[in-house]
């Protein structure tokens, strides 16, 4: 892979707030993309913060430092200080994002080699300013990756209500797209939203989330894992794994669990701003067939998928979420999981095409009925597991998507 005018490799700088060893969908996407770029011959530097998500506690081995450089999966990772805070509370999270915006420039600048192109992933939104400053400093193009429609989603969720603040943030968002040489979005719905708001079609490229098909493969259930997730006997094990946030409508899953106390056990695995409230609600409502577990390292995810009878992919019943595609559904399908999605729009279309079961979002009775029907039909679950794996192999191989991404970056450099 060559640069624009020499025989040296293309140099890519990735600016992102979140990166492994943190766990989560953004971390998985960005680390697997950048690792593939490096394997394909690019020189990749990653400018990020010290790992602390979602607990707000900086991981052991990274504490007490202002800056650190390490090697990870063929990439050089530059980490700078940030205000570490749990993934809860809008004000504290914003302060954390702002702290990285400043430290990535002030502390990271001197460690960055002159890149050919800068990629910045949003959210967090404020990282875009860091990338913009660095793109001006090095006089290289900037590519903005949009994984969430920010701040639009917070407006629909009711987190942002001040009309002046919303107006200001939307102006900043459009200014970022204007400054970018290219804008990468993860769904076609996001593309349509940006087109309606005046972003030129020539700038927008859809590169969806996908799955590492070597890491996530079908496998047998593990009895020890099932026991840890709380199930006994021949009851169905239904698992939600991921962020426990305001976007996911987990209260409706809890209600579905209450309706299925005679049939299934539910395990919630992960952390997030809504977890404490969910645990309290389960106790208050007397829901006994649930287990709450903390987030797990990525290496443990395949065992959980293999051990679940049914995996859940939920979103809130909000119009903007019809443009969202939860990345976890690709991982579940890739590992041979049986998926029930309580989603609408683009995500629902993909899941149906993959042979999965879909019900309307935030309708617990419909969800409970679908779980009971699917749980009672092992042959159908086997068929869905095979169909889902085949579907993502054909359409959502992350290595294939990463190579499309790198080709886009190289075209951006040449132009």
Q: Are residues 132 and 194 in the same domain?
A: yes
Q: Are residues 78 and 206 in the same domain?
A: yes
Q: Are residues 166 and 228 in the same domain?
A: no
Model-wide pTM > 0.85: yes
Under 8 Å CB-to-CB from 42, ≥6 apart: which residues?
1, 9, 10, 11, 12, 406, 409
Tell me the pLDDT band of 386, cut-offs 50, 70 and 90. Answer: very high
Q: Are residues 188 and 230 in the same domain?
A: no
What is the structure's pLDDT at 6? Answer: 53
Tens digits of residue pLDDT in 241-287: 999 988 999 999 999 999 999 999 999 999 988 999 999 999 999 99
The parent domain of residue 315 ranges over 223-395
Q: Are residues 200 and 345 in the same domain?
A: no
Q: Are residues 386 and 402 in the same domain?
A: no
Q: Are residues 371 and 345 in the same domain?
A: yes
Q: Are residues 149 and 19 in the same domain?
A: yes
Q: Are residues 228 and 242 in the same domain?
A: yes
Answer whether 297's CB lies under 8 Å from 23's CB: yes
Q: Are residues 385 and 408 in the same domain?
A: no
217 within some domain: no
Average pLDDT over residues 206-217: 94
Q: How many CB atoms lie within 10 A of CB 322?
A: 18
Tens digits of residue pLDDT in 13-57: 999 999 999 988 889 899 999 999 999 999 999 999 999 988 889
216 within some domain: no
CATH number, residue 344: 3.40.50.2000
Q: Are residues 289 and 202 in the same domain?
A: no
Q: Are residues 98 and 199 in the same domain?
A: yes
4 within some domain: no
Tens digits of residue pLDDT in 71-108: 999 999 999 999 998 877 778 888 998 999 999 999 99
What is the number of domains present in the chain? 2
């Amino acid at each position: 892979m060559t640069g624009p005018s020499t025989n040296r490799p293309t140099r890519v700088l990735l600016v992102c707030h979140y990166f492994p060893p943190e766990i989560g969908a953004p971390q998985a996407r960005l680390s697997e993309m950048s690792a593939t770029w490096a394997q394909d011959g690019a020189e990749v530097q990653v400018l990020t913060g010290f790992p602390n998500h979602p607990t707000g506690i900086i991981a052991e081995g990274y504490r007490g430092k202002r800056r650190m450089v390490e090697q990870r999966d063929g990439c050089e990772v530059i980490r700078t200080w940030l205000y570490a805070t749990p993934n809860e509370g809008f004000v504290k999270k914003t302060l954390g994002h702002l702290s990285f915006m400043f430290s990535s420039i002030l502390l990271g600048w001197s460690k960055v080699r002159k890149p050919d192109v800068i990629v910045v992933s949003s959210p967090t939104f404020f990282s875009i300013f860091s990338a913009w400053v660095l793109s001006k400093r090095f006089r290289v193009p900037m590519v903005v990756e949009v994984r969430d429609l920010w701040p639009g989603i917070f407006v629909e969720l009711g987190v942002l209500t001040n009309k002046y603040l919303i107006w200001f943030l939307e102006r900043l968002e459009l200014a970022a797209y204007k400054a970018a040489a290219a804008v990468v979005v993860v769904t076609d719905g996001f593309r349509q939203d940006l087109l309606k708001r005046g972003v030129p079609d020539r700038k927008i490229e859809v590169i969806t989330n996908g799955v590492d098909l070597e890491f996530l493969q079908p496998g047998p259930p593990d009895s020890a894992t099932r026991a840890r997730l709380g199930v006994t006997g021949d009851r169905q094990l239904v698992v939600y794994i991921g962020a426990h946030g305001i976007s996911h409508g987990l209260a409706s899953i809890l209600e579905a669990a209450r309706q299925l106390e005679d049939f299934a056990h539910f395990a919630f695995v992960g952390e997030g701003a809504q977890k404490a409230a969910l645990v309290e609600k389960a106790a208050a409502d007397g829901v006994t067939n649930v287990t709450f577990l903390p987030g797990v390292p990525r290496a443990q995810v395949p065992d959980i998928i293999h051990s679940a009878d049914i995996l859940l992919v939920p979103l809130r019943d909000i119009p903007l979420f019809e443009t969202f595609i939860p990345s976890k559904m690709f991982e579940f399908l890739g590992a041979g999981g049986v998926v029930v999605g309580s989603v609408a729009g683009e995500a629902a279309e993909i899941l149906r095409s993959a042979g999965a079961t879909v019900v309307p979002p935030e309708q617990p009775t419909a969800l409970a009925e679908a779980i009971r029907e699917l749980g009672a039909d092992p042959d159908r679950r086997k068929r869905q597991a095979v169909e889902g794996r085949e579907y993502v192999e054909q359409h959502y191989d992350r290595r294939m998507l990463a190579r499309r991404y790198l080709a886009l970056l190289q075209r951006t450099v040449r132009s």
